[in-house]
């Protein structure tokens, strides 16, 4: 504990020579160049994506996460098409918003290489090293990388009756859902260690338990509760909760009505030390994270005159 009752702060994040401490939890804005994103409001053509990036920057985003392929099932998108969707956008963001960090959401090394050459700062590999060459690209180009957990699922597949250990595998009194925590922690530890061994800056290696991917709703909820286990790995922790199915199933709500549930999960994880939050709703997320940081004591109030003047 850093102070009474407050969980330890997560590890600092460093990208493009800039270091972010606990006083600045980071918002990673989602900007998809996909016609079939699971959230209709996040489907952008070229001009729509440019406007979305500008709006995200104005609302307090620190990074934008640019994606060209829907995570879930859908029409096949080959490497050439993914590059055509994403790389020109990377170049425009780099030119128009020089202070904004750029992440590219891809599991393909070819796309990662093109993104790094175009000026990306981070490769968000949401499919857990499916292409083992991707992390080598990050090391080669000196950019950050996200290490994720999917329980071995292949890209663009949905989970079906996934299981992680059993109650008998744990000490008496342990929660049987701790099997997913054990698997996530072991997978992320190994992936992060490989990235560092290849030369990626440890402060540029993000770890993401990857809620919903290779998991059911009970698994994802338990991982929110156990955020500290991921934070303890010593790398900045990324949480990608925004409007996901575990939020919708918990509240019985469609994707369009999942903001409050997303922000509740965001508050819990931020309190427990997570540092980066991938979000469709930038302004609301920015305000929630700043409030949690202020309650934790990591950030001073914007003004504090009540009772003093």
Cα(81)–Cα(60) distance, rounded to whole angstroms? 30
Closest CA to 36 of 45, 27, 28: 45
pLDDT in tens, 16-37: 999 999 999 999 999 999 888 8
Q: For 227-272, what is each residue's pLDDT tens digit?
A: 999 999 999 999 999 999 999 999 999 999 999 999 999 999 999 9
Structure-token pair, residue 24 = 């600045």
Exposed/middle/buried for residue 250 (C-beta within 10 Å: 0-12, 13-18, 19+): middle
Percent of the chain topping pLDDT 70: 97
Instruction: Give CA–CA dist 230/8, Å, rounded.
Output: 12
**At residue 15, what are phi and psi to the nearest 5 degrees?**
-140, 140
Do 36 and 74 contact (CB within 8 A), yes or no?
yes
Q: Which residue has the tokens 């994506």?
A: 49
Q: Apex CA 123: angle with CA 117 and CA 127, to 5°? A: 135
Give the pTM.
0.94
**285 neighbors 274 (Cβ within 8 angstroms):** no
* Contact present, 67 and 32 (Cβ < 8 Å): yes
Beta-bridge partner residues of 199: none
Query: Which of 114-118, 168-172, 180-184 is the least confident region?
Result: 168-172
Nearest one of 90, 102, 99, 30 to 63, comparing CA atoms: 102
Distance CA 167, CA 38 (A): 34
Q: Give me the CATH code for the 24-296 domain, please.
A: 3.20.20.20
Q: Give the helix ranges, DSSP H, for 7-108.
A: 46-58, 79-96
Provide the pLDDT for residue 156: 82
User: CA 9, CA 20: separation in Å to the nearest integer?
Assistant: 12
């Amino acid at each position: 504990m850093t102070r009474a009752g407050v969980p330890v702060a997560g590890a600092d994040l460093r990208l493009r020579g800039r270091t972010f401490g606990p006083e600045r939890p980071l918002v990673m804005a989602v900007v998809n160049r996909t016609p079939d994103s699971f959230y209709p409001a996040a489907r952008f053509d070229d001009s729509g994506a440019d406007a979305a990036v500008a709006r995200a920057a104005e609302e307090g985003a620190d990074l934008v996460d640019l994606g060209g392929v829907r995570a879930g099932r859908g029409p096949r998108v080959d490497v050439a098409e993914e590059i055509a969707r994403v790389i020109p956008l990377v170049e425009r963001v780099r030119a128009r918003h020089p202070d904004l960090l750029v992440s590219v959401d891809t599991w393909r090394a070819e796309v990662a290489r093109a993104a790094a050459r175009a000026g990306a700062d981070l490769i968000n590999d949401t499919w857990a090293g499916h292409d083992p060459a991707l992390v080598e690209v990050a090391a080669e180009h000196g950019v950050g990388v996200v290490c994720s957990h999917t329980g071995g699922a292949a890209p663009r597949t949905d989970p079906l009756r996934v299981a992680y250990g059993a109650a008998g595998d744990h000490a008496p009194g342990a929660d049987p859902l701790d099997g997913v925590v054990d698997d996530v922690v072991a997978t992320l530890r190994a992936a992060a260690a490989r990235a560092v061994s290849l030369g990626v800056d440890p402060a540029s290696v993000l770890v993401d338990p990857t809620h919903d991917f290779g998991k059911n709703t009970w698994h994802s909820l338990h991982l929110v509760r156990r955020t500290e286990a991921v934070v303890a790995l010593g790398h900045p922790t990324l949480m990608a909760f925004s409007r996901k199915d575990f939020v919708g199933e918990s509240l019985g709500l469609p994707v369009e009505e999942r903001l409050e549930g997303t922000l509740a999960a965001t508050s819990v994880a931020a309190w427990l030390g997570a540092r980066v939050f991938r979000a469709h709703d930038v302004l609301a997320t920015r305000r929630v994270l700043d409030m949690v940081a202020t309650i934790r004591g990591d950030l001073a109030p914007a003004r504090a005159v009540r009772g003093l003047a």
